[in-house]
Chain A
Amino acid sequence: MQKRAYFGLYILIAVLAVLPFVLPNSFYLDLAIRMAINAIIVLGLNLLIGFAGQISLGHAGFLGLGAYASAVLPTHFGWHPVLAMIAGAVATGILAALVARPIFKLKGNYLAMATLGLGIIINIAVRNEAQWTGGPDGMPVPAFGLAGFELSSDKQWYWVVAALLAVSVWASLNLIDSPFGRALRALHGSEVASRVVGVDVVRYKVAIFVMSAVFASLMGSVTAHYVGFVTPNLADFFHSIELVTMVVIGGMASVYGSVIGAVLLTALPQALATFEGWETVAFGAILMICMIFLPKGLVPTLASKFGKAE
């Protein structure tokens, strides 16, 4: 199991290393960068959904907090981008912890409702505070630089994001096999049983939720700097749903499922653009069909089909 788990990581690294040399043009490079960014967010979200069994319907809100921290703090207050990114992540983490503590004392999936509300509040605040955020039109984000070196070309961004993705996958695999990860899995299996063997249920759930929110915030900052522009759409309800869908389509509680789900759903709108006006219908129909026929998600379904022979 151990070896096979890392085997996937090697394949991923190989693909990431070869990809920029085989992609025909900058359009595909841009797509690959956005896939990798989404994959990292989804990895964090999948730890929450797949292992802690909790849904967040407001993850785009956290993404938006990070993105706007990176846009507003350097532009209006002259902060260094790195400092702004960290400030955004810390603020998101504190907000997530504040919301999560009382919620996780309850039974059932109340986190879905709380995060839904939180995400919408963040989105509307960003839309309304136009003097800081540019309102619905969004605002430009200064370039990201560190120690005299500035990230500018798509190639440079690709290597940075690809490295981040490889590290995130590696970290997720290790996390799942750590005592922390075992506690999480126990939690998903049976909350009562895990409490009996001494797992502090509330603390673990809060920890994983805060972690996934901070992941999202950091990647929000990265997105903002990479695109060079932020709009409230980054933080809207639909985007939150897209992120959850990536988790579910790829496969809950599956590290590689997260990556595959992110890749597929980032590519899907591009593929559907040819449908002219029917994109929304097609997107919705694909969601429904996937969930009806592959309720466990792509990777776990395929793994159980082909995995038994090994």
Chain B
Amino acid sequence: MLAQLLQFLFSGLTVGATYALAALGFTLIYNASNVINFAQGEFIMLGGMLAVFFTQAGLPLPAALALAILVPAVVGILIEKLAIEPVKGAETVTLIIITIGASLVIRGLVQVFLGKNTHSLPAFSGDTPIEILGATLMPQSLWVMGVTAIVVVVLWYFFNRTLTGKAMLATSYNRLAAELVGINTNGVLFMSFAMSAALGALGGILITPITLTSYDVGIMLGLKGFVAAVLGGLGNGLGAVVGGLLVGILEAMGAGYLSSAYKDPIPFVLILFILFFMPRGLFGAKVTDRV
């Protein structure tokens, strides 16, 4: 009983960590620009696929992984520079369509150049399972959770202790006021796209040895990251992390105890309930409207 529960918890936390990274990506961009970036899932896919491509091309693992994070970051910057900045202040629908267009371009390019096959990466430190109270934990799961934890700590430090991080935070609270005190809000936008692309890619790389990857995994991963961000209260960093882990755990429990065929809709049923009963999410701020 306990062993089974623990087993589901482990797999939930592992995949939840990826959702958390994706949700952080949504949060960063949303805070900087109020854009919901539907291309976020493609960064996750891009990270995994590029890691596979670079290792197969013969690069040593660390170099391959670094490149697999760097390239999506550059892609994120390109999207921001070419497609988001020129239409600043457009309607939400317009911005959503632009990011969906961007996601199609990314997915299409990967499909053309890297093919439609499913790929895997070798686990970073072997496949010998670790036994804990009767449940087994793959070493790769530790990598996923550990790196995510480190990222969260680094991000916390960045936003609370560095000037750049504080400038980004200030922009998310009030863009105009931030501009007035001399913050380069375009630079903030630029940073947030680069950072969220890198975060997504990192999640994609870490999870690939466990869940495999192909050109079309981005949609579902991205949407679940989005659910996680909303669950935590859109725009709240801590909420994004907690939301991601919760979505992952609930999904794993649902798949284990209810039905594995209905694993995918669980986050979306969750989102309906959240909207009905606690529309600001778990940690969302109360918004008041000025007329």
Contacts and interface: CB of A to CB of B under 8 A. Distances in A.
Interface in B53-112: 83, 86-87, 90-94, 96-98, 100-109, 111-112
Nearest to A127: B261
Tell me the interface secondary structure of chain A in the complex. Answer: helix
B257 interface: no
Interface in B235-291: 261-262, 264-265, 267-269, 271-272, 275-276, 279, 287, 289, 291
A116 B268 contact: yes
B210 to A, nearest CB: 22
A292 B93 CA distance: 12
Tell me the interface secondary structure of chain B in the complex. Answer: helix
Contacts of B106: 284
A113 B230 contact: yes
Interface string A92-110: 0000000100110011111
- A99, A248, A295 — which one has the most chain B CB atoms within 10 A of its CB? A295
A192 interface: yes
Interface in A61-114: 99, 102-103, 106-110, 112-114
A292 B269 contact: no
Contacts of B112: 277-278, 281
A117 interface: yes
Nearest to A107: B289
Chain A interface residue count: which class?
35 or more
A37 B145 CA distance: 48
B261 A128 contact: yes
Contacts of A116: 223, 226, 268, 271
Interface of A: 49, 55, 99, 102-103, 106-110, 112-114, 116-118, 120-121, 124-125, 128, 192, 237, 241, 244-245, 248, 252, 277-288, 291-292, 295
Interface of B: 36, 83, 86-87, 90-94, 96-98, 100-109, 111-112, 219, 223, 226-227, 230, 261-262, 264-265, 267-269, 271-272, 275-276, 279, 287, 289, 291
